[in-house]
């Protein structure tokens, strides 16, 4: 595994007022990446949107009876692979049990994950002792 070109680790309160800040981190990473030949503005928008949607999901799935809710965002770029994880202590969800996206019926649930799946190369969801993790990866090569 190569030395990470960029690594960002941030913990925020589980409140929507911090969403723009998290999204801005995604945009800043897009502008800081070396040797990217794609559309940098589109990458910035995509990282902003994917991170924001993942944090919104974490906030929505928070345990209302749990301790003060925090969301841990970790972003790591190494070997042209960008890996972003969003971890929280909430209930989480199983990606495999989510219904397939139906564009005509997306008023209530699923738009955020639908967007993330369209913007990133792979999306995974799993539990660790620290909580529920949504992992998003994108190849920038």
Nearest distance, CB of residue 104 and other proteins, angstroms: 7
Stretch that binds other proteins, among 6-14, 41-49, 80-88, 125-133 (CB under 8 A): 41-49
CB neighbour class for 104 (10 Å; exposed up to 12, middle 13-18, buried from 19): exposed
Nearest distance, CB of residue 139 and other proteins, angstroms: 16
Contact 75, 138 (CB under 8 A): no
Check residue 95 for interaction with other proteins (CB under 8 A). Answer: no
Nearest distance, CB of residue 2 and other proteins, angstroms: 29
Check residue 56 for interaction with other proteins (CB under 8 A). Answer: yes
CA distance 44 to 29: 8
Give the three-state DSSP class for 107.
Answer: coil
Interface pick for other proteins out of 10, 42, 95, 124 (rule CB under 8 A): 42
Stretch that binds other proteins, among 6-14, 52-60, 64-72, 129-137 (CB under 8 A): 52-60
Could you tell me the CA-to-CA distances from 131 to 58, 61, 86, 121 in Å, in that order?
A: 10, 11, 10, 23
* Angle separating helix axes 40-60 and 19-32, nearest 10 degrees: 150
Interface pick for other proteins out of 12, 29, 46, 71 (rule CB under 8 A): 46
Contact 2, 57 (CB under 8 A): no
Residues near other proteins (CB under 8 A) are: 16-17, 19-20, 23, 39, 41-42, 44-46, 48-49, 52-53, 56, 103-104, 106-107, 111-112, 114-115, 118-119
């Amino acid at each position: 595994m190569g030395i990470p070109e960029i690594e960002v680790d941030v913990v925020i309160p589980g409140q929507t007022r911090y969403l723009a800040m998290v999204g801005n981190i995604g945009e800043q990473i897009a502008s800081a990446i070396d040797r990217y030949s794609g559309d940098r503005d589109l990458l910035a928008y995509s990282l902003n949107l994917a991170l924001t949607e993942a944090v919104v999901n974490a906030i929505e799935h928070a345990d209302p009876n749990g301790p003060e809710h925090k969301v841990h965002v970790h972003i790591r770029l190494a070997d042209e692979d960008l890996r972003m994880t969003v971890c929280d202590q909430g209930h989480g969800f199983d990606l495999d049990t989510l219904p397939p996206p139906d564009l005509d019926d997306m008023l209530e649930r699923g738009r955020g994950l639908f967007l993330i799946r369209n913007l990133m190369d792979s999306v995974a969801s799993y539990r660790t002792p620290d909580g529920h993790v949504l992992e998003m990866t994108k190849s920038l090569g």
